[in-house]
Structure 1
């Protein structure tokens, strides 16, 4: 008996085709065949206009806003062969992500085109792996600030023709006015051009909306230097004195141990420094800060914007009451309000297995609460003391800051671990009977 060969797999009903400014001429045969065979062609008006009459499928422009419309638009054309047009590489800040979330990776066939980043790096001779990319498409320009470091090369994906001037203005405001800018328009197309200047002296009016901005970061003389690790200078923040000071902040972030994609609750935000530096540690880190004072909450928003993490969520309210409904955290920092009834227990209960909790205080009342929590749950209880050299007459002496008591603990992953992490001593070592 001869077995029939297995049937070839049925291709997904949705094909995503990356296309560049060179249009149909720049597409390989597989992409052209998919577009010519499609019964429905979905894309931006500019992209659809690049297709020749040979592509006879029904042309459907994306509505605005785009992302919420994706499931309904796909459902409306279910049963048809669909081709979706995307700029460049669909999986690099493109529509491919939204489509994958709806259809799953097996529901799509993706035919990428070189991205604008690949084109830009090829034109100006930057290694892609050494170049940071920041997108401002549908995102606030302030997020670029976190990528600004002396000597770094950054590619900015533009939202429109006004983005280059917006970027130049932000660089000036953040102390990077001497940075060299190159705006590459219509990359890969017949009308490709490059405009050049510095952020301090950007002479060009708005040009083509299809552009990418290359930034060579140069810090202006006297501009503050903001590092890439926790412990930014205190003067980097607008504050009214409610600020976790630099050295304690660095120690606190060290035990909070942010990792990519994790969410922090920052209780008693003050000036927002802990949440801000948590988010600066990696672009995918997220944070919610809860601050009861409206003026301070507004100040946190300004600090987050200035320091490049405008996505920080600020809740004006009181803990623990206003913690209800927040997404579950991976870590919690309590910088204020420890004596609020039920706060410590609510934060502990919100953490999943392996979650971290860190609490700082300078008062004896709150310190007693932390000592009790340490007896129940284990962890580390430390006192942080910092002294600064100050003038004393014609000499120099030490001025001691208020010591900070810090409790840090990781929630056990198993009941066995929980039993072993919080054993009380049988006798107080200071009690000699």
Structure 2
């Protein structure tokens, strides 16, 4: 890079300017403008640079920052700006030759070094601007989590969430003003947490308790999802997800979504997957939203309350499509035209005949899935068969 960029993103810790490296201090000294939240501005000694408080909501600050082109600008952020911080938002808003960054130790690194935890084996989660349910996928005994929190009140919200999920025995290590002269550390079980806490704050969680944990395989227990009975049950769902074969960054359409269990398991498969549920019944669409909220995947899910294929226009292109209900000739022609992975399940004779004709016309694979479970038969036991499911898959 031949010239020094006009914008410098500087990570600052609770020890203020004293903890900055030489490059960060030089960038601050050379700045015409320092832009930061009030707390960070208070850490910087008075000087000739203009000071601008970063506004709330955060997004409004980007336009202000853009208006400062032509000046040397330093933006202050907590710790490592690229760990759940402002760095990535600023970086994607400006050209790569316009900015540079000087991070300092993140709260995750500082907390792990206090606890002796291997950071590569610890889940790091940003809860300062996200619901507590983002923890759901990580809640299993023995798991280590470090989470940023919105403020002191967020500590009690965290404890209440863990309690409600059946993990009140989890050990919380609460860090206030971590790495600075006001640093305070509190250790407590989630179930017995008391006291007040100051911002900035983060928490380390050693998960313990007998609450239900999510499996790392496909096929979550049926009780994971709220449903009115219209749901692809666990064994069939596991096979269906295996056939859909979710991959990182892929987008699924779940047509006739019911409880949304297929889309939700798709979202649980990887933190970068996305899904769109198309469901004609408003009560079921609302239930899908509640399930997504409970599992902490709501931010990657779009729900469309309407009929397919009429509602399929204007949606982000899918990498895979699952049709679990409402199959018709018009719908089939619409999804076939997208030339993507397609999986369709049917349980009726009419649906089976429809899929047999589709396979003859378009190719792909047909699979008949028959499952039986034991049940009492007098003084002994016998097999009780479920309705067979015919699955047609087409990979284009």
Q: TM-score, normalised by structure 2?
A: 0.96
In 2 relative to 1, CA 85–285 (structure 1 residues): closer, same or farther, beyond 3 Å?
Answer: same
Would you say 1:368 and 2:369 are equivalent positions? Answer: no
- Is the Cα contact below 8 Å between 2:7 and 2:100 reproduced in 1? yes
- Of the three residues 210, 215, 223, the one matched with 2:200 is 210
Question: How many equivalent residue pairs?
Answer: 395
What SS does the aligned partner of 1:406 have?
strand
- Is the Cα contact below 8 Å between 2:131 and 2:296 reproduced in 1? no
Cα distance in 2 between the residues matched to 1:349 and 1:87: 48
Would you say 1:60 and 2:45 are equivalent positions? Answer: no
Q: State how 1:143-222 maps to structure 2 within 5 Å.
A: 143-205=134-196, 207-220=197-210
Name which one, 1 or 2, has greater alpha-carbon Rg: 1
Cα distance in 2 between the residues matched to 1:15 and 1:338: 55
Partner of 1:256: 244
Cα distance in 1 between the residues matched to 2:193 and 2:275: 35
Partner of 2:6: 13
- Is the Cα contact below 8 Å between 1:143 and 1:310 reproduced in 2? no
- Of the three residues 23, 38, 57, the one matched with 1:30 is 23
Q: Gapped runs of 5+ residues in structure 1?
A: 1-7, 412-433
Q: State how 1:384-395 maps to structure 2 within 5 Å.
A: 384-395=369-380
Partner of 1:39: 32
Q: State how 1:88-127 maps to structure 2 within 5 Å.
A: 88-127=79-118
Deviations along 1:383-406, one digit per CA (max 9) or x if unpaired, are: 111111111111111111001111
Would you say 1:317 and 2:310 are equivalent positions? Answer: no
Cα distance in 1 between the residues matched to 2:21 and 2:139: 38
Cα distance in 2 between the residues matched to 1:106 and 1:123: 37
- Is the Cα contact below 8 Å between 1:23 and 1:50 reproduced in 2? yes
Cα distance in 1 between the residues matched to 2:336 and 2:6: 47
Partner of 2:71: 80
Q: State how 1:186-335 maps to structure 2 within 5 Å.
A: 186-205=177-196, 207-220=197-210, 223-311=211-299, 312-335=301-324
Please, what is the CA RMSD of the aligned residues?
A: 1.5
Cα distance in 1 between the residues matched to 2:221 and 2:139: 16
Q: Gapped runs of 5+ residues in structure 2?
A: none
Cα distance in 2 between the residues matched to 1:278 and 1:186: 38
Q: TM-score, normalised by structure 1?
A: 0.88
Residue 68 of structure 1 deviates from its aligned partner by 4.7
